[in-house]
A and B are shown apart, each in its own frame.
Chain A
Amino acid sequence: MTHLIICVAIVLAVLACIMIRPGGLSEAWVALGGAVLLLAGGYLSIGEIPGILARQANVFGFFLGLMTIAALADQAGVFDLLATLIARWASGSTFWLYAGIFALGTLITMFLSNDATALILTPIVYALVTRLRLPVLPFMFACTFIADTASFLLPVSNPTNILVLDALGHGLLPFLHYLLLPALTCVGINVAIFLLVFRRSLRLRYAEADLEAIQPDSPLRRYTLFSLGIIAVGYVIASALQVSLALVALGGGALMFFGAMLYKQLDWKRLGREISWSLFVFIAGLFLIVQAVEQLGILTPLSRGIVHVAASGSFLGVLSVAAGGAVGSNLINNIPMTLVLISAFHGAPQVVSQHPALIYATILGVDLGPNLTTVGSLATMLWLVLLRRKGLDITTLDYVKLGLLIIPAMLIVSSLEIWLRW
């Protein structure tokens, strides 16, 4: 029993440190430290570590390829070009610019993941909107929210989707069967609500003369756009045939890398900075921690809970799994929450085979979760406080509505759509 309690204490400490980041400590070192403590405590053996990590080679490869593709597309100026083209297309209408940014964010999230939208597109939109002398907050909200609400359109749209599908052996068709309609619904709800909340700012017009000139067409940019098209098709085909997505991602990254070398525009240092190397340490540490937890059976109650929910077949059961994933991913970060839920599903194999809807409810929850309310995400709290302070004319009631209703509304409607496919 003491053995079990110590393990639980280590895991809870790791999760707390991931959430709080004391002294700015990197989550990667926290996860690694937790794994080392579990190793020292005999919850893991050194001999099993290579096997645990080797089983996740597909995930590591996919993440590496994904980040390489997004970084090289950014270096080639693709995102800048697309954002400027949208601004020109909107012809001075801030409303249509906003709608266009939502569309662009959805497209980038769909094929290059929410990471590319949240991290690469956002500063580009920030700079664009600043030059146009428009209020920046609505646009930054648009980018960061759509990065999550569009992140279950395809398996590659969110790395946590890959974690789930890889672990539980599912492919594109069941993914689309359960999640395409909910994903489109969530995007629709997000866009509609934001257009309503920010309607005053969207009445403004901007001067097209304030737009930067579009950079002259370059062979590298054409090559990159062509490569992205191939990669997008490759993702869809690979997902449908259940071929490793890591192969497509790494192959796509290599294709774009070759192009950057060919046209002598590869910035090594920048590429190195764009790839989050600490992510691999973070995920490796988490995999080891979850393995130790799984071996001790700590997650058995959670597995039993999932079996019970599956047996009930109720809408509330589906909603509770989605909501639990959303709250959990908000509290402790969506990657460890996803791994915890995967582990729980491993303990309930009959659910995986007979009630796959619950797997997709999990994906729904962990993908939407980071946008949750003031009660959860620190980032969302910060945004809502900023909105209020900036006097973007949302009353107390409006910002509570924005925070508390938008994500729960998405969760309820999407869970219902998943349950209808039970």
Chain B
Amino acid sequence: MIMCAIGLRRGPQLLQRLALLRESGEELLLVHVIDIDPRQGWEQSPHPLRPGPHPHPERNHRMDEAEMRSGEAILSEAQAEAQRLGWTASVRLERGNPERVLVQVAQEIGAMLLVEFARELPEGHPVVGPPSVGHTARFVLDHAPCSVLLLR
């Protein structure tokens, strides 16, 4: 099984770069992780007139729904591209801290290879050197239980 970390925007491009591996006969698992940290940070931060915790079902539902729809759309687009390129691909939508979830899933499925981009948004970043690799990619490189194919 080849695991592919699908970010916000470049799922199809990642799959196009995998053409060389198609002869391996492996299936793809396309994984997108909904990053919960920004929302948790906002929920935990103090607000002007709200001393203490302030759960709000309607707002939570609104954000949950947006996350799910976006995640499903991202994976759907990537899966369509995978199928167009002749891959057999399944999808998995997760929530959590992206770098840790990716490593956990790779461990869980016994991935032989994990494919990721060095950065979500590469424009304007150095193409070589430490700043060329984002935090998530670096964590996965350091902790993945399998080989990692890092795409630039």
Contacts and interface: CB of A to CB of B under 8 A. Distances in A.
A140 B42 contact: yes
A149 B45 CA distance: 17
Nearest to A379: B45
A147 B48 contact: yes
Interface string A365-401: 0000010000000110011001011110101000000
A126 B39 contact: yes
Contact of A118 (B41, B47, B51, B120): B47
Contacts of B25: none
Given A26-B52, A140-B38, A276-B50, A126 B66 contact: yes
A51 B73 CA distance: 59
A393 B65 contact: no
Given A200-B124, A273-B56, A130 B47 contact: no
Contacts of B70: 130-131, 133
Interface string B90-124: 00000000000000000000000000000111011
A320 B134 CA distance: 40
B27 interface: no
- With most chain B CB atoms within 10 A of its CB, the pick from A127, A134, A274 is A127
B51 A278 contact: yes
Given A126-B66, A273-B56, A383-B41, A390 B8 contact: no
A302 interface: no
Nearest to A30: B51
A135 B131 contact: no
A35 interface: no
A386 B51 contact: no
B45 A382 contact: yes
A139 B66 CA distance: 15
Nearest to A128: B66
Nearest to A130: B66
Interface string A87-128: 000000000000000000000000001110011101110111
Contacts of B73: 133, 210
A378 B46 CA distance: 8
B53 interface: yes
A119 B51 CA distance: 12
A371 to B, nearest CB: 11
Contacts of A246: none
B17 interface: no
A127 B63 contact: yes
Given A203-B123, A386-B37, A28 B52 contact: yes
Contact of A119 (B41, B50, B69): B50
A391 to B, nearest CB: 4
Given A131-B70, A133-B8, A279 B38 contact: no
A244 interface: no
Interface residues of A, number: 60
Contacts of B53: 24, 26
Contact of B41 (A63, A114, A382): A382
B47 to A, nearest CB: 5
Interface string A4-40: 0000000000000010010010111000000000000
B135 A389 contact: yes
Contacts of B119: 391
Contact of B48 (A24, A158, A203): A158
Given A126-B39, A386-B37, A27 B66 contact: no
A390 B70 CA distance: 19
Nearest to B118: A391
B135 to A, nearest CB: 4
B42 A390 contact: no
B130 to A, nearest CB: 10
B44 A382 contact: yes
Contacts of B125: 200, 393
A224 B47 CA distance: 25
Contact of A270 (B8, B41, B44, B58): B58
A201 B66 CA distance: 20
- With most chain B CB atoms within 10 A of its CB, the pick from A119, A123, A158, A379 is A123
B49 A279 contact: yes
A131 B136 contact: no
B48 to A, nearest CB: 4
A278 B52 contact: yes
A395 B126 CA distance: 12
A236 interface: no
A134 B56 contact: no
B67 interface: yes
A204 interface: yes
7 contacts: A28-B51, A115-B47, A119-B48, A136-B39, A137-B38, A144-B45, A333-B46
